[in-house]
Amino acid sequence: MKKFQFNLDNVLDYKQQVLENLQNEHSVLLQRVRRQEELIAGLEADYAALNQEFRQAEREGITIADARAYEMGLRAQEKTIQAEYRRLEQLQAEAERKREQVVAARQETAALEKLKDKKLEDYRKMVQKGEEQFIDELVSTVRVMNAGAP
């Protein structure tokens, strides 16, 4: 009997490659999100340190010009942090869209794999049935030969 051949093997292979590519892209996006979160954490730490330095300088007494310089520096850092948060939101949205694509591709691949498994099981049943018929015919032939022998 001929070997099992799944008609959609090429499609399944293609879908698996697409899934792997999407998973890799998703992984890259998640790394970008983590790096952006680390960047923001660093910026916030810098902001907190500058703010602490400003508060300490105020307690010790500073000029109005120095106070304005600290405040301008703090406001600039706040704007930078806000911009980086917006970038983080964009990256998270991209990662979520890619995750949804991965889920869809995984479902398509799983459906094809289930179909392949079902076809393989049908093939095995057909092979087993063929073997049983062969054995039945062989037994019948042996009986006929034994019945005709003196």
Within-domain flag for 124: no
Whether 29 is covered by a domain: the verdict is yes
Find the angle CA(141)-CA(142)-CA(148) to the nearest 5 degrees: 90
| 140 is a domain residue | no
Question: In this predicted model, what pLDDT tens digit does every residue of 110-119 receive, in sequence order?
Answer: 999 999 999 8
Q: What is the pLDDT of residue 5?
A: 80
Residue of 121, 101, 112 lying closest to 22 (CA atoms): 101
Containing structural domain, residue 29: 9-118
Domain count, the chain: 1
What H or E segment, with its residue span, contains residue 62?
Answer: none
* Residue 148 lies inside a defined structural domain of this protein: no
Structure tokens at 23: 């998973």
Q: What does the pLDDT read at residue 149?
A: 59
- Any domain includes 92: yes
CA 103 remoteness from chain centre: 7
Domain with residue 27: its CATH number is 1.10.287.1490
Query: In sequence order, what are the residues at sequence separation of 6 or more whose Cβ sits closer than 8 angstroms to the Cβ of residue 99?
Result: 26
Instruction: Give the whole-angstrom CA distance, residue 107 versus residue 79.
Output: 42
The pLDDT assigned to 59 comes to: 92
